[in-house]
Chains A and B, each alone.
Chain A
Amino acid sequence: GENVEQHPSTLSVQEGDSAVIKCTYSDSASNYFPWYKQELGKRPQLIIDIRSNVGEKKDQRIAVTLNKTAKHFSLHITETQPEDSAVYFCADQYDSWGKLQFGAGTQVVVTP
């Protein structure tokens, strides 16, 4: 994919509430959509990913949904905790060795 738009750029939530981050991609042939979490001063860590033949995937408190028709995918975090505070990046990949196209990132702040 050539372009991934990510919204919002910042997100403040109360502990225990849910957080949703949305991304839109432009290349309809994109097949792989990972999400990375980057805490301050640390490396981006893969937290969940989804492939184009799957509509939804869950892993404990996090889930990702994919709408191929609309070219949207979203990250859902339930029961947020202070340790969820970080920058989250969405990305896509299409037929391109080692190249992920990243969104601009969402700064999530969870307040106790």
Chain B
Amino acid sequence: KAGVTQTPRYLIKTRGQQVTLSCSPISGHRSVSWYQQTPGQGLQFLFEYFSETQRNKGNFPGRFSGRQFSNSRSEMNVSTLELGDSALYLCASSQSGGENSPLHFGNGTRLTVT
């Protein structure tokens, strides 16, 4: 079974721009979660989608948004980029997103904002 696939692997953007990251979950997984990883803040939860609906959201500003398509693929968008948005963005998929459904992470997208 193919793992979680994230594209692109690397992105360099300038302040004020916007960016879209993509995530394809493991086949059969319907829940997709997004996390931000930075050396200072560690792994922080952004949001979770299931059946095209956002069910859960972390404490990030409204510049961070996402969506999920009918095939469970998900995209994350960050608008008006700030230097502090530089991070590794990880997508994780699971069958249901609940406690009995372990999360499996992709390799991430490394975003650098200059």
Residues of A within 8 A of B (CB): 31-32, 34, 36, 42-46, 49, 51, 89, 91, 93-105
Contacts and interface: CB of A to CB of B under 8 A. Distances in A.
A97 B105 contact: no
A32 B97 CA distance: 12
Contact of A95 (B33, B58, B99, B108): B99
Interface residues of B, number: 28
Given A32-B100, A43-B4, 14 more contacts: A36-B105, A44-B90, A51-B100, A93-B99, A97-B31, A97-B97, A98-B31, A98-B32, A98-B47, A98-B49, A98-B50, A98-B55, A102-B43, A103-B42
Nearest to A95: B99
Given A43-B90, A89-B43, A105-B42, A99 B58 contact: yes
A51 B105 contact: no
A99 B33 contact: yes
